[in-house]
A and B are shown apart, each in its own frame.
Chain A
Amino acid sequence: MSAARPGRLRLLFEKTGRARYISHLDLMQTLRRVFARADVALRRTEGFNPHPYISLALPLPVGQESVCELMDFETEAAIHPEIIPELLNPKMPEGIRALRAYAPARALSGIKWVEIRVSLEYDAPPRDAGAALAEYFSADSIVVPKRTKRGIRDVDIAPAIRSVRFSGAEAGRVEGGAVISASEPALNPELLLTAIARDAPSLSPDYALIRRVEIFDADMNVFR
């Protein structure tokens, strides 16, 4: 094992449970503090108000879980990346856990697809919800209103969905999964729920948990 040169490293971590309500900006601040607690000094930006530079790959919408978050950072001093998770984990808030740190082989911009799991809960489950949802999402065009900086406009999310599947309702619950576009365009999985609520309200769940489970490059190779 040889010491890594000081320089850019990448952290694979998960954000689950109560931590999924931490917003993207708050997560950045939280992680900076985690590094400071662990006494792993990060390189700071230059300028009037220097702060440790970190970069998160894909903003995770509030309320969604993930087991495959990536963050790039740079340490002040040389450090074996392997030991970073054990330094960080005792300093984490509940629900955030470092899985692995390593020197990255490619830029974060190479991420193209993300695989999500959705768990839909119904107080009164509709009949054959799984099949009906699968059918709904097989359409060539699914137009939903999307809130943007310039107001609300209609977007077609169908091209951003590479694949989708749903299983039948069991105990008031439908499990589903999808591979959706992570960049250009980035599709917020919440829009899948918006689409259901608008076009098929009877299939709209009373509660939905969305979990990001894997990220891929354009060729559907797992991205690290």
Chain B
Amino acid sequence: MNRELERILRTVRKPARYTGGEYNEVIKERGGVRLRVALCFPDVYEIGMSNLGFKILYGLANATDGVWCERVFAPWDDMEAAMRGAGVLLYGLESGDPIRDFDVVAFSIGYEMAYTNVLNMLDLAGLPVRASDRDESMPLVIAGGTCCYNPEPLADFIDLFIIGEGEEVNGEVFAEYARSRDAGVPRGVFLERAAVLGGVYVPSLYDTEYGPDGLLSSVTPRPGAPMPVVKRIARDLDAAYFPEKAIVPSTEIVHDRVALEVFRGCIRGCRFCQAGYVYRPVRSRSASSAARLGLAALSDSGYDEMSILSLSTSDYRGLRRLTHELLGWCEPRGVGLSLPSLRADNFSVEMMRSVQKVRRSGLTFAPEAGSQRLRDVINKNVTREDILNTCRIAFEGGWSSVKLYFMLGLPTETDEDVLAIAELTGQILHVWRESAANKRRGVRITVSTSCFVPKPHTPFQWEPQLAAGEYLRRVELLRGAMRMRSVVYNWHDAGTGFIEAALSRGDRRLGRALERVWRDGARLDAWDEHFSLERWLAAFEKCGIDPAFYAERERARGELLPWSVVSPGVGTEYLWSEREAARAGAVTPDCRVKCTGCGASALTAPVPCDSDTDTDTDGGGIVG
């Protein structure tokens, strides 16, 4: 560490997040390194180090000969002030070297409210934020992650987007970059070469035009640039890289445990859920390989907890077998397992009971909507009976705390649907009175609502977001009906959701507003204490942009959507048909009941979507 950095570390909170030096950090001999990559997470260390995708991309890049990938996170405000005051440029945690001198600066972006951090980190690195202001002496700036399924709001700032999963394509981009650089190929020519690798979107190769009505009227790719850019995926999860030797932070982070991913994609088709559509097709890890990887990661890290991750873990075919294999190792060592994404059904409680002998957390459900009608609209195929039965079994088993998550402002929502949330909560309370194993311990039911944000590449991508005033009216309506003992009602403020909605379905014109609001002081916007709706609204106004045009406007069927330059493999026609089904209150069966032809299976062809990696026939009867 250099002297300047050591001096400022004395003055900031939680300095251990700015030092590097953790177990399993990768240090390479500079002499043998051909390509230096700064893998940037646009939020603080505690959030970024909790991200499984970040660990995968770090490990995978460093597994490549000649590539040295370092970590970079957003500094908290005290550290930013200290860095700027002392003239310390943003550095890689591993080497302490300024990332301005690296070859590639790569952002992993999972949340729109991190966009201002992207600009701020470029600036802290001593780089111009706009791609057009950077020259060939500066690093290539790339971005990937879920947010890049609509890359347009960041198009002014990023040289190249990775669309989809980075496992294969990152390495291809790095290799092409090193080759082009060594051959003295100009940056522009490199970008043209990268654009045809597949899964790469180079925004400067696409020209956009807008009509007099303000709508996007055309997107014209330059010759050779693909349209749309179809996402890339890791086709075979059993063959995919898994970070068995991930960095173990020396300071507490948000998810301080091993994360074991068991499958990608989701068979459920909840219509509001962007992850459920953009991570298709479904690809599973076999239970035996998941168990091997999970135990390897546990023994290597020394963690005493592991989470089994997927979008809907109850749908993992190998779950019984996996938990059985894991528990045999974990129980005697006092290592806890957690299954955060279970559906509300009997099987789930049985699973919870079997895995949570070591440590028992509360129960969390996300019914998302209070009435069956609205749950049908959003295709959240869980019934009131499912929820109540699950709670009953849980209360009988000694659980005494339940968290419930709902959204307000889902398409077609009425006051009746809003009040149904309170009704369901009351029924859960009633179930507790009937079935609690130990009533003296009391019960705690926490209900949280957030304002629905329509997302690109979902059946609700055409829908308007509910206006903030109306959202708050519905919050008040619900609050009035939620006055029950043992029930706590929390609601998210509307401001963050509104800005998130504008950014998530924005176009390139938002770049100016992003730059403006960042220059006006916006950063760390995912944190309530830093977010300022007023600052955002003022910045939009200065740029002559109406955020409601993006957040609260219903799109016509034929409208050219800014994010149609990229494709997650699920067709727009399919999304429209799902939207029509939603309007009709018609449910779509899950993908195992019937394939409804979303189109994503083409990405793994000839291997079918959701192919059975191993059967669970030997696992029956183990649990319970």
Q: Is the interface of B mostly helix, strand, loop or mixed?
A: loop
Instruction: Please measure, in the bound complex, the distance between the C-alpha atom of A121 and the C-alpha atom of B20, giving whole angstroms.
Output: 24
Instruction: Please measure, in the bound complex, the distance between the C-alpha atom of A33 and the C-alpha atom of B15, giving whole angstroms.
Output: 20
A181 to chain B, nearest CB (A): 23
Instruction: Please measure, in the bound complex, the distance between the C-alpha atom of A37 and the C-alpha atom of B304, giving whole angstroms.
Output: 11
Selected interface stretch from A6-14, A19-27, A148-156:
A19-27
> Contact check: which of A17, A37, A50 meets B302 at CB < 8 Å?
A37
- The reply to whether the CB of A146 lies closer than 8 angstroms to some CB of chain B is no
Which residues on A sit within 8 Å (CB–CB) of B1? 18
A56 to chain B, nearest CB (A): 15
> Contact check: which of B3, B25, B302 meets A207 at CB < 8 Å?
B3
- CB distance A95 to B21 under 8 Å? yes
**A residues neighboring B (CB under 8 Å):** 17-19, 21-23, 25-27, 29-30, 32-37, 39, 41, 44, 49-51, 62-63, 91-95, 121, 206-207
Number of interface residues of B (CB under 8 A): 29
Instruction: Please measure, in the bound complex, the distance between the C-alpha atom of A94 and the C-alpha atom of B248, giving whole angstroms.
Output: 12
Chain A's closest residue to B336 (CB) is A49
A-B contact count (CB 8 A): 80
Which residues on B sit within 8 Å (CB–CB) of A51? 304, 334
- The reply to whether the CB of B299 lies closer than 8 angstroms to some CB of chain A is yes
Which residues on A sit within 8 Å (CB–CB) of B9? 21, 63
- CB distance A21 to B19 under 8 Å? yes
Instruction: Please measure, in the bound complex, the distance between the C-alpha atom of A39 and the C-alpha atom of B300, giving whole angstroms.
Output: 10
- The reply to whether the CB of B325 lies closer than 8 angstroms to some CB of chain A is no
Chain A's closest residue to B17 (CB) is A21
A96 to chain B, nearest CB (A): 9
B149 to chain A, nearest CB (A): 36
> Contact check: which of A21, A35, A37, A91 meets B16 at CB < 8 Å?
A21
Instruction: Please measure, in the bound complex, the distance between the C-alpha atom of A8 and the C-alpha atom of B427, giving whole angstroms.
Output: 53
Contact with A along B4-33 (1 / 0, CB 8 A): 001101100011101111110100000000
Contacts known (A18-B20, A23-B16, A33-B302); A49 close to B359, Cβ less than 8 A: yes
- The reply to whether the CB of B412 lies closer than 8 angstroms to some CB of chain A is no
Instruction: Please measure, in the bound complex, the distance between the C-alpha atom of A63 and the C-alpha atom of B250, giving whole angstroms.
Output: 14
Which residues on A sit within 8 Å (CB–CB) of B252? 25-26, 29
CB-CB nearest 6 A-B residue pairs: A33-B302, A36-B302, A18-B21, A94-B21, A37-B302, A21-B15
B75 to chain A, nearest CB (A): 14
Chain A's closest residue to B12 (CB) is A21
Instruction: Please measure, in the bound complex, the distance between the C-alpha atom of A207 and the C-alpha atom of B11, giving whole angstroms.
Output: 11
B486 to chain A, nearest CB (A): 22
A74 to chain B, nearest CB (A): 15
Chain A's closest residue to B25 (CB) is A94
- CB distance B19 to A92 under 8 Å? no
Q: A33-B302, A63-B10 are in contact. List 13 more A-B contacts (CB 8 A).
A: A17-B21, A23-B251, A26-B251, A32-B302, A34-B302, A36-B302, A37-B299, A44-B334, A50-B334, A91-B23, A93-B22, A121-B3, A207-B6
Chain A's closest residue to B256 (CB) is A29
Which residues on B sit within 8 Å (CB–CB) of A62? 15-16
Which residues on A sit within 8 Å (CB–CB) of B25? 93-94
B16 to chain A, nearest CB (A): 5
Contacts known (A22-B251, A26-B252, A33-B248); A63 close to B15, Cβ less than 8 A: yes
> Contact check: which of A23, A30, A36, A95 meets B304 at CB < 8 Å?
A36
- CB distance A19 to B334 under 8 Å? no
Q: Taking each of B18, B248, B333, which has the highest tally of chain A beta carbons within 10 Å of its own beta carbon?
A: B248
- The reply to whether the CB of B329 lies closer than 8 angstroms to some CB of chain A is no
Contacts known (A26-B16, A39-B299); A206 close to B250, Cβ less than 8 A: no
Which residues on A sit within 8 Å (CB–CB) of B300? 37
A194 to chain B, nearest CB (A): 13
Contacts known (A21-B19, A23-B251); A91 close to B302, Cβ less than 8 A: yes
Q: Taking each of B10, B16, B251, B252, which has the highest tally of chain A beta carbons within 10 Å of its own beta carbon?
A: B16
